[in-house]
């Protein structure tokens, strides 16, 4: 698959020069036909043609249903070895303090709960075993940082967490379809916020476009779509509190990964989150990100060693490993 060299337009007003990109708000950029075709190819390649055809979509619908059942969820999860292993691993982790090993998927679902499974399901879509480790680390930091900022701002923490965790889904998918070529482009970005302009010049679209379209295929609520897909936009282009929390959380994550802040956090959050609070949250953000990363690292290692069959056949090795 060859990415098109696209032209960035602002809905009929003509081509934009690179310096206009941020001013226009990247999440509002209208794609050329060629870039739109490339976007469709990316989603087809990722198995996200529609939520009905996507395993992730089916699981997320069950998790979001008011009468979702553990038994139905088990039937869906069992078809995904990696996800089943992660749910079992989490149920057996120290955080849940179970005195005996949990070896039944249905028991694990009950112990862990739908919210945590939703997190694991969404994070599984990131294919972190196939992208550079610093990218997965960044997404985890972004999720917990966005959650912390949301807490201070009084906006829903789970939504901020989800949007932060998956904001860079588009990067994983671009990496996959360009067979790693996208990594070379990423390395040219001096700061995460300079990446979208580079993507636009190379592909005619940004990873924010890809994330937004994937979210829509999953039928995520529009506020979540907006929050995830505006995470590089200029702060004065963002008006809803959830998107602001995710945008500031992104800047916080960049700082935690060794970068410099680009935003005035106090101004962006109307004084709810200030730089001094980073000290208070940093330990928890790093620890939680590391815990979730270890669940995934373990499961990728386990999957590599498992050769075939459904996850049920692997309950014994899972149990042995967990003891
Ligand atoms: Fe991003």
Could you please report the per-residue DSSP string of 110-146? HHH-HHHHHHHHHHHTT-GGGS-HHHHHHHHHHHHHH
The Å distance, Cα 85 to ligand 1 centre, comes to 28
9 forms beta bridges with: 15, 30
How open is the CA angle 171-175-181, to the nearest 5 degrees?
125
86 belongs to a structural domain: yes
The Å distance, Cα 94 to ligand 1 centre, comes to 32
pLDDT of residue 35: 93
Q: Is 15 helix (H, G, I), strand (E, B) or coil?
A: strand
The Å distance, Cα 181 to ligand 1 centre, comes to 17
5 belongs to a structural domain: no
The Å distance, Cα 171 to ligand 1 centre, comes to 7
Could you tell me how many residues make up the chain? 323
205 belongs to a structural domain: yes
The Å distance, Cα 135 to ligand 1 centre, comes to 10
303 belongs to a structural domain: no
The Å distance, Cα 208 to ligand 1 centre, comes to 7
Question: Within the chain, which residues score under 50 in pLDDT?
Answer: 1-24, 51-52, 308-323
Average pLDDT of the chain to the nearest whole number:
81
pLDDT of residue 204: 93
The Å distance, Cα 108 to ligand 1 centre, comes to 33
Q: Exposure of 176 by Cβ count < 10 A (0-12 exposed, 13-18 middle, 19+ buried)?
A: middle
Structural domain of 313:
20-290+308-319
Task: Report the alpha-carbon distance of residue 217 to residue 52 in Å, rounded.
Answer: 9
pLDDT of residue 192: 87
pLDDT of residue 28: 67
The Å distance, Cα 231 to ligand 1 centre, comes to 6
pLDDT of residue 318: 35
Full-model pTM: 0.80
The Å distance, Cα 133 to ligand 1 centre, comes to 15
pLDDT of residue 95: 66
Backbone CA torsion sign across 262, 266, 272, 276: positive
The Å distance, Cα 310 to ligand 1 centre, comes to 35
pLDDT of residue 48: 63
1 belongs to a structural domain: no
The Å distance, Cα 321 to ligand 1 centre, comes to 35
314 belongs to a structural domain: yes
pLDDT of residue 250: 97
pLDDT of residue 121: 84
161 belongs to a structural domain: yes
How open is the CA angle 288-163-143, to the nearest 5 degrees?
15
Sequence-distant (≥ 6) Cβ neighbours of residue 242 within 8 angstroms: 150, 155, 156, 159, 160, 163, 223, 224, 226, 227
The Å distance, Cα 25 to ligand 1 centre, comes to 14
Q: What is the CATH number of the domain that holds 249?
A: 1.10.3210.10
The Å distance, Cα 52 to ligand 1 centre, comes to 27
173 belongs to a structural domain: yes
In the chain, the number of structural domains is 1
pLDDT of residue 285: 94
The Å distance, Cα 207 to ligand 1 centre, comes to 7
């Amino acid at each position: 698959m060859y990415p098109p060299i696209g032209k960035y337009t602002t809905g009929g007003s003509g081509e934009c020069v690179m310096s206009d990109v941020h001013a226009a708000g990247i999440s509002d950029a209208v794609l050329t036909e060629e870039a739109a075709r490339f976007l469709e190819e990316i989603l087809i390649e990722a198995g996200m043609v529609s939520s009905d055809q996507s395993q992730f979509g089916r699981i997320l619908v069950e998790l979001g249903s008011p009468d979702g059942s553990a038994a139905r969820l088990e039937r869906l999860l069992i078809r995904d070895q990696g996800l089943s292993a992660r749910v079992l691993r989490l149920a057996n982790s120290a955080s849940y303090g179970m005195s005996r090993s949990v070896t039944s998927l249905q028991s694990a679902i009950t112990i862990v709960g739908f919210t945590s499974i939703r997190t694991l399901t969404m994070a599984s879509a990131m294919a972190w075993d196939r992208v550079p480790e610093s990218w997965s680390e960044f997404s985890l930091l972004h999720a917990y940082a966005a959650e912390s900022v949301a807490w201070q701002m009084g906006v829903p923490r789970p939504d901020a967490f989800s949007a932060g965790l998956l904001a860079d889904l588009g990067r994983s998918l671009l990496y996959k379809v360009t067979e790693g070529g996208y990594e070379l482009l990423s390395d040219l970005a001096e700061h995460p916020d300079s990446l979208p302009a580079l993507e636009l010049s190379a592909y005619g679209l940004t990873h924010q476009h890809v994330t937004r379209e994937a979210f829509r295929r999953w039928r995520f609520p529009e506020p979540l779509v907006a929050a995830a897909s505006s995470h590089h936009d200029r702060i004065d282009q963002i008006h809803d509190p959830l998107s602001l929390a995710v945008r500031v959380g992104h800047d916080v994550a960049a700082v935690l990964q060794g970068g410099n802040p680009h935003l005035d956090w106090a101004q962006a959050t109307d004084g709810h989150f200030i730089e001094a609070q980073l000290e208070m949250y940093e330990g928890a953000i790093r620890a939680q990100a590391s815990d979730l990363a270890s669940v995934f690292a373990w499961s990728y290692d386990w999957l590599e060693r498992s050769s075939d069959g459904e996850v049920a056949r692997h309950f014994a090795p899972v149990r042995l490993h967990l003891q």
